[in-house]
Amino acid sequence: MYRSRLGSDLSDVTLDYVSSINEDLQIALYDILGSEAHTLMLYEQQIITKNDAKKIISALESLKNEKFDILSGAEDIHELIETLVIKKAGMASGGKMHTARSRNDQVALDIRMKIRDDINIVCNSLLDTIEALVSLAKNHQKTIMPLYTHLQQAQVGLFSHYLLAQADVLFRDFDRLYTTFSHVNQSPLGAGPVGGTSIAIDRHSTAKMLGFDSVIENSLDATSTRDFVAEYVAMIAILMTNLSRISEDFVIWSTSEFSFIELSDEFTSPSSVMPQKKNPDILELTRGKTSEVIGNLTAILTTIKGLASGYGRDLQQIKSSIWSTSKISISALLILKSILLTLHVNEKEMKKATESSYLIALDIAEKLVQNEIPFRTSHKITGALVQLAHKSNKSLIKLNMKEIITIAKETKTNPDLIMKIIQSTTITSSLKERKSFGSSGYDEQKRMIEDRTKKINSYRINITKRNNDILKVLDHLSDKINELIK
Ligand code: ARG
């Protein structure tokens, strides 16, 4: 349709190469809404007549249920929709729809509308997953487990503390996406191909009709920037790396060697040959799909970095990376939520793991500190105690007075004090005494759970309002349209 100055049509191979129609199905509805707002504005600005507007908008309305034919020969959804509008409304009216805009501002508009919806969906899914983490944490405030550094047992902790840590990570993902939304929700519509238009359009009016917070002012910037895409995908890439780390923990903890957790059957896969297998494929796929999202981010950044100013067709290629990023993250969150809600936690095994090691070493050292021994000295004493116990393959509490005296002598400490501290330090006592803000001590769990529960609610209110604001504006647009075409 656009080949006014071009002699010949594209061959099938070239058309297939150049066409984005497949990817564009995801933005068809946004394209229709954008075209409706644009047409209303053209009418309100007296650029087209009421009759023209009525015909164009009626045609657009009928396309809302259209199953678009991807083999129509159109290069993209913008061309296809315009062709169909002209077919339905006639050239005299339909041919006016594309007045004072370009596919360059149009496609930027559609992508922004799609991403802003996706952000709201991801944010809601994040809150659902956070809620599942906090509700599981509520049930495991007394579930003792080792905390790891270097995947080596480090300190004794609580499963709730682990889960709340993951909740906080996801809250930050929410915050990042919530901010990104404001960079996305700016209207490029009416920027034209690159430099604006001589026709007396009203860009603020279309922005308002479509629920944008503002217009993206400079027409060159509006049509050619995709920094908002890179930002969105980067935020999701970070989110996915966070989900991938949780997945890795759960994969490790569901091995028979750890046996800390058992995934519900619906989130595991069998082996084609080994009948006993229960593999954590779903979580492994979260790790695998994270790589895909990171790849999407790389594809987007490398597409943008070498582009001269103004729109370039390279930008067409980044759309599938956006869609795939959204789909992966939403599914990953939904699945993780269900995994958490159906997880079997092997409390006994978790606790047992803390007993076979010297996890209370730091707690003993800190008790020595509380008896006026410098930390460096108490570190040395406790290290020597662990070494001694380890050599004779026993726990610290089994060390006898003779053994303790040798260490006390070397460090000029009172052996009775050391003995008393060893005897009174257990895994539970250490969790009771751990009081620092945000620690894995018992008391902190309750406080953090209450605080995070409130936080979920206030975040939920914000995201629901944001979503409803858009829905309200689009309802208003639909009322305006019905009024016009009735
Ligand atoms: N299909 C194109 C895309 O997705 C639409 C914009 C084409 N603009 C152009 N001047 N060729 O980016």
CA-nearest residue, atom 11 of ligand 1: 313
Q: Is the pLDDT of residue 266 over 90?
A: no
Query: What is the CB neighbour count within 10 angstroms for residue 485?
Result: 15
| Cα 106 to Cα 189: distance, rounded to the nearest angstrom | 6
| Cα 5 to Cα 165: distance, rounded to the nearest angstrom | 61
Is 129:171 a contact under the CB 8 Å cutoff?
no
Asked whether 21 lines ligand 1 (CB < 6 A), one says no
Quick one: pLDDT band at residue 269, thresholds 50, 70, 90?
confident
Ligand 1 midpoint to CA 18 (Å):
10
Q: What is the CA radius of gyration of the chain?
A: 31
| Residue whose pair of structure tokens reads 């800390």 in the numeric block | 260
CA-nearest residue, atom 4 of ligand 1: 316
- Which tokens sit at 252? 């490790």
Ligand 1 midpoint to CA 343 (Å):
47
> Considering all CA atoms of the chain, what is the largest pairwise distance in Å, rounded to the nearest integer?
104
209-230 pLDDT, tens digit each: 999 999 999 999 999 999 999 9
Residue 78 known to be catalytic: no
Quick one: pLDDT band at residue 190, thresholds 50, 70, 90?
very high
Residue 114: DSSP 8-state: H
Q: Which domains are seen in the chain, by residue range?
A: 12-99 (1.10.275.10), 104-353+448-476 (1.20.200.10), 361-425 (1.10.40)
- Among residues 176, 206, 175, the alpha carbon closest in space to that of 41 is found at 206
Quick one: pLDDT band at residue 357, thresholds 50, 70, 90?
confident
Separate counts of helices (H) and strands (E) for the chain: 20, 6
| Cα 348 to Cα 327: distance, rounded to the nearest angstrom | 38
Query: 414: burial class by Cβ within 10 Å (0-12, 13-18, 19+)?
Result: exposed
* 349-362 average pLDDT score: 92
100-146 pLDDT, tens digit each: 999 999 999 999 999 999 999 999 999 999 999 999 999 999 999 99
DSSP β-bridge partners for residue 145: 157
287-321 pLDDT, tens digit each: 999 999 999 999 999 999 999 999 999 999 999 99
pLDDT at 439: 97
Catalytic member of 72, 214, 271, 309: 271
Is 23:320 a contact under the CB 8 Å cutoff?
yes
Beta carbons within 8 Å of 65's beta carbon, 6+ residues apart: none
| Best of 18, 81, 98, 104 for a ligand 1 pocket test (most atoms within 8 Å of beta carbon) | 104
Asked whether 20 lines ligand 1 (CB < 6 A), one says yes
**Identity of the highest mean pLDDT range in 266-275, 276-285, 322-331, 386-395:** 322-331
Atom of ligand 1 nearest to the CA of 193: 10
- Among residues 464, 450, 393, 395, the alpha carbon closest in space to that of 423 is found at 395
| Best of 229, 316, 317, 319 for a ligand 1 pocket test (most atoms within 8 Å of beta carbon) | 316
Ligand 1 midpoint to CA 322 (Å):
16
Quick one: pLDDT band at residue 277, thresholds 50, 70, 90?
confident
Query: What is the CB neighbour count within 10 angstroms for residue 305?
Result: 8
| Cα 370 to Cα 122: distance, rounded to the nearest angstrom | 48
| Cα 131 to Cα 136: distance, rounded to the nearest angstrom | 9
Catalytic member of 4, 8, 150, 256: 150
Asked whether 425 lines ligand 1 (CB < 6 A), one says no
Residue 271 known to be catalytic: yes
| Residue whose pair of structure tokens reads 């939304």 in the numeric block | 181
pLDDT at 354: 95
Helix, strand, coil shares of the chain, percent, nearest 5, are 70, 5, 25
pLDDT at 6: 81
- Among residues 241, 258, 256, the alpha carbon closest in space to that of 151 is found at 258
- Which tokens sit at 302? 């490398």
424-468 pLDDT, tens digit each: 999 999 999 999 999 999 999 999 999 999 999 999 999 999 999
Q: Where are the alpha helices (DSSP H) in 1-154?
A: 12-18, 21-24, 28-44, 50-62, 77-89, 91-94, 103-139
Residue 3: DSSP 8-state: -
Query: 360: burial class by Cβ within 10 Å (0-12, 13-18, 19+)?
Result: buried
Ligand 1 midpoint to CA 81 (Å):
14
pLDDT at 366: 94
- Which tokens sit at 408? 């006390």
Mean pLDDT of the chain: 96
pLDDT at 48: 98
Query: 290: burial class by Cβ within 10 Å (0-12, 13-18, 19+)?
Result: buried
pLDDT at 187: 98
Element spanning 262, H or E? strand 261-262
